[in-house]
Amino acid sequence: MNMYNQNYENPRDLRLKYEKKQLVKLINAVGIFIISFFAFSFLFSAISSAIVFTFQLQNLESINQGFLGMQPYVYYILEFIMYILSLAFPAFVFFLVTKTSVKKTIPMSLKKSDPILVTMLFFLGLGVCETSNINSSTIINVLDFLGMSFPTPTTLDYNQDILSTIFYTVSIAVLPGILEELLFRGVILSSFRKYGDLFAIFISSFVFALLHPSLSQWIFAFILGLALGFIRIKTKSLLIPIGIHFINNLSSCIITILASVFPSEIPANIFYFFYSAVLLVSGGIAVIGLVKYYPDVFSFDKGSVALSFKEECSAIFKSPAFIIGVVLLVISMNISVVF
pLDDT in tens, 209-262: 988 867 778 888 999 999 999 999 999 999 999 999 999 999 999 998 898 888
Q: From CA 4, how far away is CA 7, in angstroms rounded?
A: 5
pLDDT greater than 50 at residue 339: no
Identity of the residue numbered 323: I
Q: What is the DSSP letter of 263?
A: S
pLDDT in tens, 2-31: 555 556 678 888 999 999 999 999 999 999
pLDDT for the residue 273: 95
Q: From CA 274, how far away is CA 232, in angstroms rounded?
A: 27
**Separate counts of helices (H) and strands (E) for the chain:** 14, 0
pLDDT greater than 80 at residue 158: no
pLDDT for the residue 20: 95
Q: Output the average pLDDT for the chain.
A: 87
